Amino acid sequence: MGGDQAPEIVIQGAELFLQRDRPARVLLFGDQDQLKPLLKAAPLLSESCEIFHTSEAVSMSDKPGQVLRKGRQTSMWLAVNAVHEGRAQAIVSAGNTGALMALAKFQLRTMPGIDRPALGTVWPTRKGQCVILDVGANIEATAKQLADFAMLGWAFARTVLNQENPEIAILNIGSEELKGPDVLRDAAAILRDERLGINFTGFVEGNDLTMGRADVVVTDGFTGNVALKTAEGTARMLAYFMRAAFHGSMLNRLGGWIASGAFRNLKNLMDPNRINGGVFLGLNGIVVKSHGAADSVGFASALDLAASLAGGEFSGRISESLSRLNDKLGPGESDHASPGGEGSDELNTGVATQNT
Amino acid sequence: MGGDQAPEIVIQGAELFLQRDRPARVLLFGDQDQLKPLLKAAPLLSESCEIFHTSEAVSMSDKPGQVLRKGRQTSMWLAVNAVHEGRAQAIVSAGNTGALMALAKFQLRTMPGIDRPALGTVWPTRKGQCVILDVGANIEATAKQLADFAMLGWAFARTVLNQENPEIAILNIGSEELKGPDVLRDAAAILRDERLGINFTGFVEGNDLTMGRADVVVTDGFTGNVALKTAEGTARMLAYFMRAAFHGSMLNRLGGWIASGAFRNLKNLMDPNRINGGVFLGLNGIVVKSHGAADSVGFASALDLAASLAGGEFSGRISESLSRLNDKLGPGESDHASPGGEGSDELNTGVATQNT
């Protein structure tokens, strides 16, 4: 029930996702009176899905604290719970980000040694893609938390970018004189330790993000969120100017018409729907946040991302990378369950369909 | 002597600047053995400039502390000193940013009530331009300092954007649940006071920067620097993809060729050289930092910016806005001189030509 056009695009997106022959089952959490009519136009989903009816849903304006106290019958809570209980390997939601983070953290708990989960996402670069985290789960981060993010990002990049040995860097500012806050240098000192077995390359600047200078870019959630949204805004402004440029003279229009094929390629490269989905990393379970404004293609991408993470060696890689960090820093906690779902042929993807 | 191609582009840029009929004189600080041969190709500059010879120059790798201790004979020091002594109304440098900031702060001092200067710059938006500060002078800022930046930005926007009543906003992240750090809310509380006589509109997000949702965007220097460089990198990546898109099939090439006029318009709109120049705001004097990679057109833009600030009502507006903030917050210091140069018909623009 979550996102700007829920539940329509959620149902359409799940149908698109299944058309790609993913070996997955979909659990739908939400209002069956709204969901059932939509399923008529989604034959694959109708065949393989299961509806868990609830009339309650988290709204975009609900505060996370409210949802934690009173939201146990909401579709978001129930969907997260399905992951917690192992009935689903991943949850995908386009709903309220803060509530999703709070519910996921409360029910799934953080992995051993992790204080706070981070929101990671895939970012287009000249060379392909990189991973950036945190892009908004926390507004600040200690050096240890930044080091955690690096290890989480390492596992994430290996899985979603298919990089065997991803280059990891910390986002900083470039002036030689002002090398940024102490916390970034402290985090770099942790990550330079060779025993971690990662490829840490130091600091990168904002303009390096799109150059593809690193495969994993580590930052706090405030800075990461500003950078991500600034890049989105810049891309949108350029697209706006480009459209305007091709609507001037007849010659410009003609050029635009002839070049429309090239534009489609460019649009595909930069389409946020193609790489839709932030992942809350560091939890005992896979939680994917779709953009609230995503269309059905975008929601299908978020489901694809969830399926890649649930079906791959992601969980094992995360556990491995974190235990190396914790071994180095001293004994961590070990009272958390490891994330489940690895190696399953058939995945249960819990789709929370929260109302907006 | 500063910037990637100094002193060539400095001389060429100053010549371009004078071709625009600016009523200005140019003081050149640097190595006369390098400068004089270049002046042969710059007739207007040769006629109106004065060379202040020194063989010492700040390099890009010099630490600000070193320059403060031992750099009294560098071209940068001498050029800043010309502003301090009222022999020039503004300094423009493409050299070492940290050293320029340190020398300017040491010699010119901050204005009454200002702890730290901020680096402000002009940013392209869909609607035109906005001002953003701080983009790198400080790595963090208190609520009071952010409020100072807002007032400095107000005066800057009124002068360079010709906005009578610019809308001022603070850069934050958008999640309703995590409204960003306390310091931003504290700064907003100060700026909401109607007695300041400004048009404060609250928070904006990264994607709002290019939408033109505010005329003045206030942030700390770390976040501002990351945002600025991320936007630059995104624009450059899109230009790169666009060129690639128009070099595929013959049809794409044809479209690109026909549309080259439209592209030129777009390139002009987004050309960083057109709006080159960061301004250190809050000092008793005008200090403009040109991008180190600027070409002669870019350096001329930086000189234009300096001339606009020196010739306009900028200094009076800054004093006015700061005294309103200080009246509200309590009595400020008043032992600083007010910035000079206002109303002068002929401007002395000190150009520091530091070596890289």
Least confidently predicted of A144-148, B305-309, B352-356: B352-356
Kindly write down the DSSP assignment for every residue of A212-280, as one continuous string: T--SEEE--HHHHHHHHHHHHHHHHHHHHHHHHHTTSSHHHHHHHHHTHHHHHHHHHHH-TTTT--EEE
- Look at B259 and A269 and tell me if their CB atoms are within 8 Å: no
More confident residue, B62 or A255: B62
The partner residue sitting opposite A206, judged by closest CB among B177, B210, B227, is B227
Phi, psi of B273 (to 5 degrees): -70, -25
pLDDT band for B316, please (50, 70, 90 cuts): confident
Q: Which two tokens stand for residue A185?
A: 């240098």
Does the pLDDT value for residue B178 go beyond 60? no
Closest residue in B to A252 (Cα) is: B259
Q: Quote the DSSP letter at residue A195.
A: G
Per DSSP, the three-state class of B126 is coil
The pLDDT of residue A266 is: 64
Closest CA to B280 of B107, B125, B127: B107
Query: Which of A67, A184, A222 is the best residue to mutate to test the B interface, defined by the most B CB atoms within 10 Å of its own CB?
Result: A222
Give the torsion sign (CA, B339, B340, B342, B345): negative
pLDDT band for B110, please (50, 70, 90 cuts): very high
Does the pLDDT value for residue A292 go beyond 50? yes
Least confidently predicted of A46-60, B36-50, B329-343: B329-343
Closest residue in B to A99 (Cα) is: B177
User: What proportion of chain B, given as a percentage, has pLDDT over 70?
Assistant: 86
pLDDT, average across residues B303-318: 86
pLDDT band for B219, please (50, 70, 90 cuts): very high
- Look at A255 and B251 and tell me if their CB atoms are within 8 Å: no
- The C-alpha of B207 sits at a distance from chain A's nearest C-alpha, in angstroms, of 4
Angle between helices A32-39 and A8-19 (to 10 degrees): 40
Residues in A touching B240 (Cβ below 8 Å)? 126
The pLDDT of residue B341 is: 37
Average pLDDT, chain A: 86
Residues in B touching A60 (Cβ below 8 Å)? 176
Per DSSP, the three-state class of A172 is coil
- Look at B207 and A96 and tell me if their CB atoms are within 8 Å: no
Structure confidence by residue, pLDDT tens digits, A36-89:
999 999 999 999 999 999 999 999 889 999 999 999 999 999 999 999 999 999
For chain A, the straight-line distance linking the first and the last C-alpha, in angstroms and rounded, comes to: 7
Kindly write down the DSSP assignment for every residue of B225-286, as one continuous string: HHHHHHHHHHHHHHHHHHHHHTTSSHHHHHHHHHTHHHHHHHHHHH-TTTT--EEEESBSSE
Q: Which contiguous run of DSSP H or E holds residue A49?
A: strand A49-53
More confident residue, A293 or A350: A293
Count other C-beta atoms under 10 Å from residue B189's C-beta.
11
- Look at A126 and B240 and tell me if their CB atoms are within 8 Å: yes
Residues in B touching A270 (Cβ below 8 Å)? 238, 241
Query: Which of B76, B175, B185, B291 is the best residue to mutate to test the A interface, defined by the most A CB atoms within 10 Å of its own CB?
Result: B175
Chains A, B: CB contacts within 8 A come to: 242
- Look at B256 and A259 and tell me if their CB atoms are within 8 Å: yes
The pLDDT of residue B334 is: 36
pLDDT, average across residues B90-95: 96
The partner residue sitting opposite B235, judged by closest CB among A99, A211, A238, is A238
Structure confidence by residue, pLDDT tens digits, A326-336:
887 764 433 33
pLDDT, average across residues B297-317: 88
Residues in A touching B223 (Cβ below 8 Å)? 222-223, 226
The partner residue sitting opposite A136, judged by closest CB among B126, B175, B249, is B175
Residues in B touching A181 (Cβ below 8 Å)? 139-140, 222
More confident residue, B305 or B336: B305
Does the pLDDT value for residue B201 go beyond 50? yes
- The C-alpha of A64 sits at a distance from chain B's nearest C-alpha, in angstroms, of 7
The pLDDT of residue A192 is: 93
- The C-alpha of A312 sits at a distance from chain B's nearest C-alpha, in angstroms, of 31
Residues in A touching B208 (Cβ below 8 Å)? 233
Query: Which of A171, A175, A217 is the best residue to mutate to test the B interface, defined by the most B CB atoms within 10 Å of its own CB?
Result: A175
The pLDDT of residue B349 is: 56
Residues in A touching B243 (Cβ below 8 Å)? none
The pLDDT of residue B351 is: 65
Spell out the domain ranges in chain A. Answer: 8-222+277-352
Count other C-beta atoms under 10 Å from residue A37's C-beta.
10
Q: Which contiguous run of DSSP H or E holds residue B50?
A: strand B49-53
Q: Which two tokens stand for residue B207?
A: 């994607």
Average pLDDT, chain B: 86
pLDDT, average across residues B34-38: 96
The pLDDT of residue B8 is: 95
The region that residue A294 occupies, defined by phi over 0 for left and psi between -120 and 50 for alpha, beta otherwise, is beta
Q: Which residues contact B21 (CB under 8 A, 6 or more apart)?
A: none
- Look at A61 and B266 and tell me if their CB atoms are within 8 Å: no
Report the alpha-carbon distance of residue B257 to residue B246 in Å, rounded. Answer: 8
Q: Which two tokens stand for residue B129?
A: 């331009």
Does the pLDDT value for residue B177 go beyond 50? no
The pLDDT of residue A250 is: 77
CATH class of A8-222+277-352: alpha beta
Structure confidence by residue, pLDDT tens digits, B112-164:
889 899 999 999 898 889 999 999 888 899 999 999 999 999 999 998 888 88
Q: Quote the DSSP letter at residue A164.
A: S
- The C-alpha of B66 sits at a distance from chain A's nearest C-alpha, in angstroms, of 11
For chain B, the straight-line distance linking the first and the last C-alpha, in angstroms and rounded, comes to: 7
Report yes or no: B160 and B289 within 8 Å, Cβ to Cβ: no
Reported ipTM: 0.84
More confident residue, B197 or A166: A166
More confident residue, B151 or A249: B151
Please give the radius of gyration of chain A, using alpha carbons only, rounded to the nearest integer.
21
- Look at B256 and A251 and tell me if their CB atoms are within 8 Å: no
The partner residue sitting opposite B230, judged by closest CB among A231, A258, A261, is A231
Does the pLDDT value for residue B74 go beyond 90? yes
Kindly write down the DSSP assignment for every residue of B83-120, as one continuous string: HHTTS-SEEEE-S-HHHHHHHHHHHH-BPTT-SS-EEE
Residues in B touching A255 (Cβ below 8 Å)? 255-262
User: What proportion of chain B, given as a percentage, has pLDDT over 90?
Assistant: 58
The one-letter amino acid code at B189 reads A
pTM of the model: 0.86
pLDDT, average across residues B232-250: 80
pLDDT, average across residues A206-216: 93
B121 DSSP β-pair partners: B132
- The C-alpha of A285 sits at a distance from chain B's nearest C-alpha, in angstroms, of 22
Query: Which of B203, B209, B218, B229 is the best residue to mutate to test the A interface, defined by the most A CB atoms within 10 Å of its own CB?
Result: B229
Closest residue in A to B223 (Cα) is: A223
